[in-house]
């Protein structure tokens, strides 16, 4: 079965109301103009913009996602947001275990796994992020690190219907540096093998593995035509309508 490509924008901590709504409207307009795109689209704005962006996307085939959630449904967790709240705000996806959260908030594989299980239970799909640091890559440990993160961060009962993996080498995020196509394919193929061991061959073959890290319109074609690359998780370039859609168009969407 062919895996439909997913072009996902992670807006990170960017966007005040007016700009965020404009961006969402622009993306909605351009996605509608594609007619029947061959890809799926997802945007993940900050929490404060979720409901406004949801409205701005009305009528366009663009899913809404958040960038994190708590593992509890409700309760005394000041400053946190639950999966049910995200669902209630119109989200169908949540990004979990992004390297910025792993670094800034000390999130472990175990915590990411707990959050993912809770998100799935609430009916959300997860985009679970993995990726090695530059030091780990230089030590030849990229595949070991990613394999360990998959084993620890992905719940046992995850399926291709509720889970997307995003491989984002930490050193490629926001730096303009991108691994060679051969290196990207090597990690993605290895990740699929680990997924096969963990979740079974059928889930692994159907599960989408996105690449993230300095994806731009100019490198999208090469990266997204690799056999095990099933889309992109885009940071900086997802904040401009032309760049985000350029990535999609250059990937054959």
Q: Which CB, 122 or 237, lies closer to ligand 13P?
A: 237
Rounded to the nearest whole angstrom, what is the least distance from the CB of residue 202 to ligand 13P in the complex? 27
68 or 228: CB nearest ligand 13P: 68
Q: Closest approach of Cβ 235 to ligand 13P, in Å?
A: 2
Q: Quick one: 123 or 174, whose CB is closer to ligand 13P?
A: 174
Strand partners, 8: 42, 233
The C-alpha atoms of residue 58 and residue 189 are separated, in whole angstroms, by 36
Active site residue 120: no
Cβ pair 13, 20 in contact under 8 A? no
Q: How does DSSP assign 148-215, residue by residue?
A: HHHHHHS-TT--TTTEEEEE--GGGTTTS----HHHHHHHHHHHHHHHHHHH-HHHHHHSEEEEESS-
Identify whether 105 is a catalytic site residue: no
Cα–Cα dist 178/191, whole Å: 18
State which residue, 38 or 174, has the beta carbon closest to ligand 13P: 174
Q: Taking the complex as a whole, how short is the minimal distance between the CB of residue 44 and ligand 13P, in angstroms?
A: 8
* Residue whose C-alpha is closest to residue 24's, from 46, 47, 61, 54: 54
Of the residues 40, 70, 168, 188, only one is catalytic, namely: 168
Q: Which residue ranges make up the site for ligand 13P (CB under 6 A)?
A: 10, 98, 168, 173-174, 212-215, 233-237
**What are the φ/ψ torsions at residue 3 (nearest 5 degrees)?**
-90, 125
Shortest Cβ distance from residue 135 to ligand 13P (Å)?
18
| Catalytic residue (one of 98, 107, 120, 132) | 98
Which residues are known catalytic residues? 98, 168
């Amino acid at each position: 079965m062919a895996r439909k490509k997913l072009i996902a924008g992670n807006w990170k901590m960017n966007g005040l109301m007016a700009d965020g709504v404009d961006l969402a409207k622009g993306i909605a307009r351009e996605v509608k103009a594609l007619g029947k795109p061959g890809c799926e689209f997802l945007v993940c704005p900050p929490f404060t913009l979720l409901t406004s962006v949801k409205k701005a996307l009305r009528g366009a085939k663009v899913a809404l996602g958040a960038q994190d959630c708590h593992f509890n449904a409700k309760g005394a967790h000041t400053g946190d947001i639950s999966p049910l709240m995200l669902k209630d705000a119109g989200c169908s996806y949540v990004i979990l275990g992004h390297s910025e959260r792993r670094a800034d908030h000390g999130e472990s594989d175990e915590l990411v796994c707990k959050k993912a299980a809770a998100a799935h239970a609430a009916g959300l799909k997860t985009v679970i992020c993995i990726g090695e640091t530059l030091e780990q890559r230089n030590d030849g440990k990229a595949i070991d690190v990613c394999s360990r993160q998959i084993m620890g961060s992905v719940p046992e009962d995850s399926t291709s219907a509720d889970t997307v993996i995003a491989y984002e080498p930490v050193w490629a995020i926001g730096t303009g540096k991108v691994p060679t196509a051969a290196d990207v394919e090597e990690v993605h193929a290895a990740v699929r093998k680990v997924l096969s061991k963990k979740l079974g061959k059928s889930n692994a073959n159907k599960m989408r593995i996105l690449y993230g890290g300095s994806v731009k319109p100019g490198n999208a074609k090469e990266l997204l035509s690799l056999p095990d690359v099933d889309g992109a998780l885009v940071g900086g370039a997802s904040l401009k309508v032309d760049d985000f859609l350029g990535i999609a168009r250059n990937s054959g969407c």
